[in-house]
Chain A
Amino acid sequence: MTTEVYESVLHPQSLVAELKKNNVSHVVWLPDSETNFLYNMMMEEPTLDLIPVCREGETMAVAAGLWVGGANPVVLIQNTGVFEAGDSIRGLCLDLNQPLVMLVGYRGWTRRGPTPDSAGRFIEHILHAWGINYYLVETDDDADRISIAFDESVRLNRPVAVLIGTEFGV
Chain B
Amino acid sequence: MINNTDAVRVIDSNREDAVVVPTMNAGNHRFGLPSVTTNQNLDLPISGAMGKASNVGLGIALAQPGRKVFVLDGDGSLLMNLGALVTTSTKAPKNFYHFLFNNGVYAVTGGQPIPGSEGVTNWEEVARGAGYAAVFSFDNLEDFTTGISDALAAEGPVFIHLAVEPEIENTPVQFRTRASRTAQQAYQEVTAALAGDN
Contacts A57-B52, A61-B49, A71-B198 hold; do A66 and B87 have CB atoms under 8 A apart? no
Whether B183 lies near A71 (C-beta < 8 A) is no
List residues of A (28-62) whose CB comes within 8 Å of B's CBs.
28, 49, 51-55, 57-58, 60-62
B194 to chain A, nearest CB (A): 6
Q: Quick check: B61 and A70 within 8 Å, CB to CB?
A: no
Write the nearest CB–CB distance from B47 to chain A, whole angstroms. Answer: 8
A26 and B62 contact, CB distance less than 8 A? yes
- In Å, the complex CA distance between A68 and B187 comes to 7
> Contacts A58-B87, A64-B59, A96-B184: A91 and B49 contacting too (C-beta < 8 A)?
yes
Q: What is the total of A-B residue contacts with beta carbons within 8 Å?
A: 122
Q: Cβ of B55 < 8 Å from any Cβ of A?
A: yes
Given known A26-B62, A97-B184, contact A70–B198 (CB-CB < 8 A): yes
Q: How far is the CA of A73 from the CA of B59 in the complex (A)?
A: 9
Interface size, chain B (Cβ < 8 Å): 36
Is the contact region of chain B dominated by helix, strand, or loop, or is it mixed? helix
Contacts of A54 in B (CB 8 A): 83-84, 86-87
> A53 vs B82: C-alpha distance in the bound complex, in angstroms?
11
Question: What is the distance, in angstroms, from B167's C-beta to the closest C-beta of chain A?
Answer: 23
In the complex, residue of chain A having the shortest beta-carbon distance to the beta carbon of B192: A68
Q: Contact check: which of A25, A26, A58, A67 meets B83 at CB < 8 Å?
A: A58
Q: In whole angstroms, what is the CA distance A71 to B24 when docked?
A: 26
Contact in complex: B49, A92 (CB < 8 Å): yes
Verify if A63 is at the interface (C-beta below 8 Å from B).
yes
Q: A66-B62, A67-B59, A69-B64 are in contact. Are A53 and B190 (CB under 8 A)?
A: no
Is the beta-carbon distance between B90 and A66 smaller than 8 angstroms?
no
Contact, CB under 8 Å: A70 / B196: yes
A65 touches B49 (CB 8 A): no
A90 within 8 Å of B by Cβ?
Answer: yes
Closest to A53 in B: B87
Instruction: Given contact pairs A26-B62, A66-B59, enumerate 5 new A-B contacts (beta carbons under 8 Å).
Output: A52-B90, A61-B55, A65-B63, A68-B191, A68-B194
Q: List 8 A-B contacts (CB under 8 A).
A: A54-B83, A54-B86, A57-B81, A58-B81, A60-B49, A65-B56, A91-B50, A92-B48
Q: Which residues does B use to contact A, with CB under 8 Å?
A: 21, 44, 47-53, 55-64, 81, 83-84, 86-87, 90-91, 183-184, 187, 190-191, 194-198
